[in-house]
Every structure is written in C-alpha cells, then in structure tokens.
A and B are shown apart, each in its own frame.
Chain A
Amino acid sequence: MSALAAILGAQSAVSALAERVRQSTVELRSGPHHLGAGIAWGDDLVLTNAHVAADDRPEVTSARGRTRAARLIARDPARDLALLRVSALDLAPVSLGRADRLRPGMLVFAVGHPLGVVGALSTGVVHAVGTAPSRLLPPGPGQRFRWLQLDLDVAPGNSGGPVLDAAGEVVGLTTMISAGLTLAVPGEEALRWATRRLEACRRSAS
C-alpha cells in the first residue's frame, strides 16, 4: 500500500468509527445548564459519569434526537460512574472493550458534546497507562483508581462519552481533565462496575 493510500485509508477509518459510535452516544441533561454525554450500553441502559447524572431524573436525548426522562439505577461518586434506565428510546447499544492492550502513543478518539457541540470527535494518543501519579490528579477519591491518561482535547460536555481505540472498540469513559490530560475510566472497570450494579438491582427486584 502506498503511503498516501494508507493515510487516506486511516482517514476514512476514523470517520467511519466516529459515525458508528455517534449513534451510541447520547446527550444527558440534568438541570438547564448541565450537558454531558453517555454511552448506550444496553437497549434501555445508559452508562455515564456520576457528575453528569447529577439528579434522579436526567433527560436523555438519543442520536436520532428523541428525548426521554431516565431513571437512575446506580450512582458511585467516588468512581464517578452512573447507570441509567431509559425506555422507549431508539438506542444503538455498544459493548465495552478492554483498555489493557493500550500502550503509550496509540491513537485514541473521543465522541461527546464539548461546550454543546453535539457528537464532536476528538483525536489524540495514549499519554500513559496505569495509576496516575497523585501529582497529576486532583485531591479526592479518584487518587486510588486506575485511569487512562490521554493526550486528547476534550471540554465540558464530553464527560460520560466514549473513548475509542484504533480498532473502534470503546475502551473507556471520558471523565475529567487534570494537569491538561484527559482522564478516562478504563472500559473493563466500567463494565465490571455496571454489571455488578445491574445484578444487585435485579436481585433486589426479584
């Protein structure tokens, strides 16, 4: 493959993966000024950040523009994750992939709504993996967790949205900016948390 063909191929692969994951990225509003993103994880389930789902009845808008009030199933402010149920919304669910194959320098992409721009794509690379040194993290409970540390430009409105790798897998959940770096909850940890909370919820319902 010629160099130009490789660049053009990589370019169309980026737009294809952005377009695909945009269908699974929702808008989340709790209160008039609180816009965030969320990942459609099941037919009626949305995974997002706890700080995005700030009240019990956030409004979810699907990629096709339909809006419904969602119900909060679980919320963990320390890990900054929240799980919502929303019915009768045309969600296009994605599965959560693993982030443990990521290495510094690999390409990553984020989809979200930075400063209200709906479905915007950000492109960057992995800065580092593993527990971030406390010097790069704000004080608080986040210090004891693993984070994807990304060299990727995001802004308020990206929170809760997906981070993808070059294969198009959802490898994380955009969560915060610290020391200029974008920090994301790794996909496998978000999946483990959400699965456990969903099971607990089903047990208590039966």
Chain B
Amino acid sequence: MSSTSPGPLQALSDALAAAVEQAGRAVVAVHARPRLPSSGVHWRDGIVVTTDGTIRRTDGISVTLPDGRSANATLQGRDPGTDLAVLRIPAGSLPVAQLASEPLRPGHLVLALGRIDESGPRSSFGAVSSTGGAWRSWKGGEIDWRLQSDLTIYPGLGGGPLVDVAGLVHGVNSGGLSRGLATTIPVKTVERVLTALLARGYVARGYLGAALQAVRFSDAARQRIGLKDAGGLVVLEVDPDGPASVGGLMLGDVVVTANGKPLESPDDLLRLLGSDMVGRTLNLELVRAGARTTADLLVGERPRRSA
C-alpha cells in the first residue's frame, strides 16, 4: 500500500483520531473516588459535567486538564436520578465542549472519550444501536431521549462524552445507567439538569404526598359513573401534612385525570411532577364513593433525603 496517497481507510482512521483530538480538548480527568479516576466534560466555561456515580467524596476533588496541569474542583451539585454531577473549576482553564445539534440515529459511528491522567485522551469506538423517546432511569430521573451504543465504556470512561465522527458532543456516558448497551445522557437532559444544579445545587421534584396504585374500572362501572377511560390511580396512603391531604384527597379516592391527562400508571402522574410544577396547581378529576368530583392540589417539593 502506497504511503504517498492515503487511501479511504487511512482517511477514516485519521478522521476518527482527529475527532478524538478535537473533542478531547474539553475532556478532563476527575479525581473524586479512590483508585481509578473518572472523566468529565468541560460543558460551559468553568463548569465540568460528570456522572454522579463516580463522585465518592465531596471535598478534595481535583481535575487533570488536557495539558497535564491539575486544578481544584468544587462540587456544585448532583442529581442521582439522572446520574449527573456538576463541578466548578477555575474559568478559562480549557476550551468548552462543542455540542451537537443534529440527533444521532442507529448506525451512526460514535466514539466514547475519557481521560484518567496526564497520558492523553482515551477512546472506544462503535455505532449507535438504539434511540427513542423519554424514559425514566432506574434511579428515578427523567431522561429526555434514549441514546444507546454498542461501544465499551472502559473503566475511567464514565462521565466522558459520546462524540460523533466530527468530534461534536452528544451527551455524557453513564456506566451506572448502562445495562448491556452503553447509555448516554443526552445534551438536552444535561442542559436541563445543569440549569437546576447551578440554580440551587439539586433538582427539585414535584411532590403530592400520596401513595397511589393503578386500578381499572369495569365497563359497567365506567358507564355508570360516566368516565371516558377505564384507568385510574387509587389512593392508598396520604401524608397528613402533604399537598394531597391539604387539597382534600382521601384514602380510597381513584384519581382518573391530572390536568386533563388520563392516568394509566403512577408514571403518568410522575411525568407531570417535574421541577417546573413545584408551586403550581394540579387539577385532578377523581371518583369518590362512586361519584365524580375534583380536587385542586398545590404541588409541593419532594423532601430530600438528608445527606
């Protein structure tokens, strides 16, 4: 093979290396756990995003920059639900990641990037396997878009970016959320969580203070009561000081809609309880003792477990 005219294979290889080099300029090593460091993405100037699961201490965190220098980092906030954590480092330390605007589709070639020391960026290679709509992580956080690839998140690559062949960042790779396929927390979710974490250090979630379980009305009952859909959520428990109690919800009530949306499962209601709903009113339609009625609840903020 002639070395004077690089063939298409050499061109592809060089393009992948260029993508790693380009995107790697905004990738740091995060030292916040014993033994192996993890990776982080310099998302905005002075702001590093990494995965919550790789942060094992809250003090004495440092990062290794692409030029080999070390910098102190402070934990700005973390959200276990979406497995994201945000660190502050001195501004102007390194370039900011270039974010992609076009979504990836199955078959697109992708690279996972990371850094664990001063020896340079690390990478793995694969293709997007599956994409889809919003989903809830097993840790309870709402992820706006499903993005899974067949590449390997090697030890230390967690918290690093998923990049395309142009070196543009499509999200943050989470070893903790990966099951079989490598899972990426997409740019949209990172932006949303980052905004909340920068504002108050955690992601607030709406709270009603009621335990609910899915039930279905029989056709006869549905027609007698005059319901459009058969699904609903029965109230099993009410926090005596919570919004549900204050709004008059009682044990045995069956909630059938919330803000006009039919409720088939508790997830349907959880989706309506994002941080933007805290302090706003949720209009419920419910069935009590065989008759339709309504209740307006002032959505509270879910109590946080004390650290």
Residues on A close to B: CB < 8 A? 1, 5-7, 9-10, 13-14, 16-17, 103-107, 124-131, 133, 135-136, 149, 151, 165-168, 179-181
Contact = CB atoms under 8 A, between A and B. Distances in A.
Given A126-B123, A135-B155, A166-B12, 5 more contacts: A10-B9, A104-B20, A104-B21, A104-B122, A107-B16
Interface stretch (B93-101, B113-121, B236-244, B246-254): B113-121
A128 to B, nearest CB: 4
A128 B119 contact: yes
B20 A167 contact: no
B interface majority secondary structure: mixed
B9 A13 contact: yes
Contact of A10 (B8, B36, B117, B122): B8
Interface residues of B, number: 35
Contact of B13 (A127, A130, A165, A181): A165
Interface string B281-296: 0000000000000000
Contacts, number: 105
Nearest to A168: B1
Contacts of B219: none
A129 B120 contact: yes
A127 B9 contact: no
A125 B122 contact: no
Interface core residue of B6, B8, B19, B152 (most chain A CB under 10 Å): B8
A7 B111 CA distance: 18
Contacts of A180: 152, 154-155
Contact of A13 (B3, B7, B152): B7
29 contacts: A9-B8, A10-B8, A10-B9, A10-B11, A16-B1, A103-B17, A103-B20, A103-B21, A104-B17, A104-B20, A104-B21, A104-B123, A105-B20, A105-B111, A105-B125, A106-B14, A106-B16, A127-B123, A128-B119, A133-B116, A135-B35, A136-B155, A136-B156, A151-B151, A151-B154, A166-B10, A167-B1, A167-B6, A180-B155
B24 interface: yes
Contacts of A5: 8
B154 to A, nearest CB: 6
Given A10-B12, A105-B16, A130-B119, A181 B125 contact: no
A129 B20 CA distance: 13
Given A6-B8, A107-B16, A135 B120 contact: no
Contacts of B11: 6, 10
Instruction: Please name the 7 residue pairs, one residue from A and one from B, whose CB atoms are nearest each other, closest first.
Output: A105-B20, A9-B8, A166-B13, A13-B9, A107-B13, A125-B125, A151-B124
A124 B154 contact: no
Given A105-B17, A106-B17, A151 B7 contact: no
Nearest to B157: A127
Contacts of B156: 136
Contact of B8 (A1, A126, A131, A179): A1
A127 B17 contact: no
A133 B117 contact: yes
A170 B123 CA distance: 21
A104 B120 contact: yes
Question: Which of A104, A127, A135 is the most central at the interface, judged by chain B CB atoms within 10 Å of its CB?
Answer: A104
A125 B124 contact: yes
